[in-house]
Amino acid sequence: MNELSQLPSSSQPLPISEQLDILRRGVVDLISEEDLKARLETGKPLRVKLGADPTRPDLHLGHAVILRKMRQFQDLGHKVIMLIGDFTAMIGDPSGKSKTRPPVTLEQTRANAQSYLDQCKLILKDDPEVLEVRYNSEWLESMGYADIIKLASRYTVARIMERDDFKKRFESGVSISMHELLYPLTQGYDSVALEADVELGGTDQLFNNLVGRALQRDYDQAPQIVMTLPLLVGLDGTEKMSKSLDNYIGLTDDAHIMFAGLMKVPDALLDNYFTLLTELPHPEIEALLAGHPAAAHERLARLVTAWLHPDADLDAALERYRSVAKGGIPENIPTQTIAAAELNPEGQIAAARLVALTGLEPSNGAARKLIQNRGLKVNGEVYTDPQGSLSLGSEGVVLQKGKDKFVKAVLEG
């Protein structure tokens, strides 16, 4: 799939009205469209900032929503700045949080950042003409106490407390640390340091990004355009996509895992997923939604999986999904050899130990919890004894975690 098929292959720039149509797609807040139009009309490449605090190393399709918008800016000839908040991650963004976040070390944020960048480049053009990678420790780590006081003097406590999450915590008596109050100012100063023309973010970042717009005025810069996109709802249909909620599709998931996850998107969210993760025209999306939901799911799964796995066998992914949905065991699942030394005198192995050895869970304890929660199948049947043992026999056994994670355990030799 050509993810941005509506863009021309020639170097001739699109009319401003068409550029705006592309950039507005899926956007919630655009402050302001008049400013964006005026800057596009100058013909000068814009500097488009996305800040990310790498508190975790892995990305999912929720992150892909904003990365797609960055790619659109790139394909229109603008430079996107992937700003790694290695310094601000140590503070912890309080956006949407009901309590203070635990601190992260600078070393942890930098380790996570490399994984983050590698995954971003699955979507972004890795070309220095249109991609700039920066770390906000470049300017924040060297700031002295006098610099912090000067920055803090540019914004009032009253304006900071207008933030909904701060207001709720204050009114309910939940503590707010001083470093959290400084976070919006610190993030806003990033826009000053980078002289950003546009800042992208999720809707939960609107306040922080507007602080950057205000600070740029104070520093005699043209205020950045603020553009927010919706948070992609997870597969449970209730909350935003999140690894901690286990309702996500990973950006680096295998093709068949990604395809299966997209087939399970709730019907009510199909419009949202099509709009944010594909370039299908709205009339075509409406026609799909008016038809049978199964056909719409398959089209979504094919488009998004082909975007991130251009060489994937989508027909095989569909057949695998159908087989698993019917309770079957797919072909060509991974095999894990188990050493004979792991067997007890009766020639068996503890089920929890086997789950850990095959990599379905990181430890025996996690494996026992999986079994207690009825999350393990052995040869297609739910296995419920966390203290039980299994015989591998001459053919081995097939373990299944959840809907579509399989491994066959066989005895060595």
Q: Which helix (H) or strand (E) holds 352?
A: helix 351-357
- Encoded amino acid at 195, one letter: E
Strands (E), 154-279: 198-202, 225-229
- Residue 79, annotated ligand binder? no
Instruction: Count Cβ atoms below 10 Å from residue 92 Cβ, excluding itself.
Output: 19
DSSP string, 101-142: PPP--HHHHHHHHHHHHHHHTTTS---TTTEEEEETHHHHTT
Instruction: Count Cβ atoms below 10 Å from residue 204 Cβ, excluding itself.
Output: 17
Is there a contact between 405 and 331 (Cβ–Cβ < 8 Å)?
no
Distances (CA, A) of 317 to 145, 212, 309: 57, 44, 12
Counting every residue written for the chain, the total comes to 413
Strand 376-378 and strand 381-382: the pairing is antiparallel
DSSP state of 46: P
Distances (CA, A) of 264 to 234, 270, 301, 325, 373: 10, 10, 9, 10, 21
Binding residue positions for ATP: 243
Q: Enumerate the known binding-site residues.
A: 243
